[in-house]
Amino acid sequence: MSDDEQRGRGAASVHRVGGLLGDLQAADDQPVAPRRRADAERNRAQILAAAEQLFAQQDPRTVTMDRIAKAAGVGRATLYRSFPDPSSVAVALLDEHERRLQGQLIYGPPPLGPGAPAGERLAAFYLAMLDLLERHLPLALGAETGPARFRTGAYGFWRVHVRTLLVDHGIQDPDPLIDIALSPLSPELYQFQRHELGLSTERVGRSLADFARQLLRSGE
Amino acid sequence: MSDDEQRGRGAASVHRVGGLLGDLQAADDQPVAPRRRADAERNRAQILAAAEQLFAQQDPRTVTMDRIAKAAGVGRATLYRSFPDPSSVAVALLDEHERRLQGQLIYGPPPLGPGAPAGERLAAFYLAMLDLLERHLPLALGAETGPARFRTGAYGFWRVHVRTLLVDHGIQDPDPLIDIALSPLSPELYQFQRHELGLSTERVGRSLADFARQLLRSGE
DNA sequence: ATGGCAAACGGACAAGGTGTCCACTTAGCC
DNA sequence: GGCTAAGTGGACACCTTGTCCGTTTGCCAT
């Protein structure tokens, strides 16, 4: 899993939107890629490690490129070579954690993987995402600034998954519903529910699971 | 309606969270308030007018205090006297438009106002909000930066309304569901659906209305 | 009507962030 | 072991942010 960090630069996560599934088990051989130099690799690792600290320590929305570079002990231009802005660093860090869940959704056992009714799968997906949010909220919040989370490769993956569930369930016009169904997973929203309203993870999770089952009810 | 602009400074919308309903028909007499000077009033109007232009012209997330001040023809400190940041200017502008809908939700005819089943009222609310978003998307996007939209007085109002509907319908634990039910109305999300995915207002609206009815189905 | 005073104004300032550029360093291949 | 290009990091010019403070101006009492 830590090997995954080496796959592509920060900006690459944007390109992943096209080849979502194929990317899951992509071999580590680089077809024509000019190969990364060892010092660049080392710097990238330092940057990611330092950034993870920073996002956890302070308000994730206030983390700057300048701060990350200083914390990682590299120059500003070196940082810019790998990432265009702070949120793309957070996206790269999140990617690693999200990839495990992505695999479970496709190949794992039900109800997360195939085999369960759509409503149950959606409920399980919500709970898994909630767990991810709970454990990596600072990163999720940091990833949201800028062009927002809708353009990340991960979001594209969730869209494909939810669309499958909606179609499975026989929804007439699934496309506008996809993002509606994903909207309760907004990091900002979760942060508000947990730390402003003081709701427990369990309470939010129960509501979300009920919500999923109600949305994709068998007795349509 | 244009008289409403004079009620309180920008920061005041934050305080509204407490007295949501009473504020709806608050008389214009100021109990102990020290009274606003005429030149301050004039400047405030100039600021709001200039800001509305700016938010519509460029990416609402890139509007700065500096730009607003220059466009309004006032000094920076004058602007800061009324508003702490650009998003609060957008909030103040939005407030005016939202207040009409707030009145309709309480006193208006069904299905927006009281009298219709909860599912129908939620569907009508969604459609009305969508209409608001469609007409004032730049402002809505501009209002989202910073501490996010969850802290605005308007959001507090929507929460109260939706909670009423959920309780009416007999939902067990309504509180975590409130913000889940409101999440599809995120301006960022609507912008993505409309201008990135190219979905029509009608299609999104139909999905949202179906979604509302499914969520609060009579045959619970 | 006029003079005093507090509210309001707006330019200026220091601090800090952003991208980019370019001279230097260094890894990797011949 | 030297060549070459990728990689590095400090510096630069520009912009934004809040705040401070000397000046102006509306409002009220006289």
DSSP chain B: -GGGGGSS-TTHHHHTTTTTTGGGG--S--SS-----HHHHHHHHHHHHHHHHHHHHS-GGG--HHHHHHHHT--HHHHHHH-SSHHHHHHHHHHHHHHHHHHHHHHSPTTTSBTB-HHHHHHHHHHHHHHHHHHSHHHHHHHHSSS-GGGSHHHHHHHHHHHHHHHHHT-SSHHHHHHHHHGGG-HHHHHIIIIIS---HHHHHHHHHHHHHHHT-S--
Q: Which nucleotides of C are covered by protein (CB under 7 A)?
A: 7-13, 16-22, 26-29
Q: Which nucleotide is nearest to A42 (CA to C1')?
A: D7
Express as a percent the part of chain A with pLDDT over 90.
Answer: 65
Mean pLDDT rounded to a whole number for chain A: 84
Tell me if chain B has a CB within 8 Å of the CB of A195. no
Query: Is the Cβ atom of B34 within 7 Å of strand C at any atom?
Result: yes
Compute the Cα dihedral for B164, B166, B172, B175 and give only its sign. negative
Rounded, the Å distance between the CA of B4 and C1' of D15 is 35
What pLDDT was estimated at residue B172? 93
Which of A179, A195, A197, A199 to substitute to test the interface with B, most B CBs within 10 Å?
A179
Can you tell me the mean pLDDT for A72-86? 89
Give the tokens for residue A209: 């699971």
Rounded, the Å distance between the CA of B180 and C1' of C14 is 44
Contact A176 B208 (CB under 8 A): yes
pLDDT above 60: residue A192: yes
Tell me if chain A has a CB within 8 Å of the CB of B179. yes
Tell me if chain B has a CB within 8 Å of the CB of A59. no
One-letter-per-residue 3-state SS of chain A:
CHHHHHCCCCCHHHHCCCCCCHHHHCCCCCCCCCCCCHHHHHHHHHHHHHHHHHHHHCCHHHCCHHHHHHHHCCCHHHHHHHCCCHHHHHHHHHHHHHHHHHHHHHHCCCCCCECECHHHHHHHHHHHHHHHHHHHHHHHHHCCCCCCHHHCHHHHHHHHHHHHHHHHCCCCCHHHHHHHHHHHHCHHHHHHHHHHCCCCHHHHHHHHHHHHHHHCCCCC
- How far apart (Å, rounded) are the C-alpha atoms in residues B64 and A23? 39
Tell me the nearest-neighbour CA distance from A49 into chain B, angstroms.
26
Tell me the nearest-neighbour CA distance from A184 into chain B, angstroms.
5
Contact A179 B196 (CB under 8 A): no
Can you tell me the mean pLDDT for A119-134? 97
Q: What is the CATH number of domain B2-215?
A: 1.10.357.10
Determine if the peptide bond prior to A111 is cis (ω within 30°). Answer: yes
Confidence of residue A35 (pLDDT cuts 50, 70, 90): low
pLDDT above 70: residue A143: yes
Contact B179 A196 (CB under 8 A): no
Rounded, the Å distance between the CA of A103 and C1' of D14 is 46
pLDDT above 50: residue A131: yes
Give the residue ranges of chain B where pLDDT is below 70: 1-36, 146-147, 219-220
Can you tell me the mean pLDDT for A176-201? 96
pLDDT above 70: residue A193: yes
Can you tell me the mean pLDDT for A128-135? 97
- How far apart (Å, rounded) are the C-alpha atoms in residues B181 and B171? 13
Closest residue by Cα to residue A193 from A128, A134, A122, A125: A134
Tell me if chain A has a CB within 8 Å of the CB of B41. no
Rounded, the Å distance between the CA of A143 and C1' of C28 is 35
Can you tell me the mean pLDDT for A22-39? 51
CB < 8 Å to B177, chain A: 207, 211
- How far apart (Å, rounded) are the C-alpha atoms in residues B70 and B126? 37
Give the tokens for residue A118: 């759509």
Closest residue by Cα to residue A5 from A43, A33, A31, A32: A43
- How far apart (Å, rounded) are the C-alpha atoms in residues B137 and B196? 14
Protein-nucleic contacts, chain A 82-101 to strand C, CB < 7 Å: 84-86
Query: What residue spans define the domains of chain A?
Result: 2-215
Contact B180 A184 (CB under 8 A): yes
pLDDT above 90: residue A28: no
What pLDDT was estimated at residue B34? 56
CB < 8 Å to A188, chain B: 148, 150
Confidence of residue A76 (pLDDT cuts 50, 70, 90): confident
What pLDDT was estimated at residue A26? 41
A-chain residue closest to B214, CA distance? A215
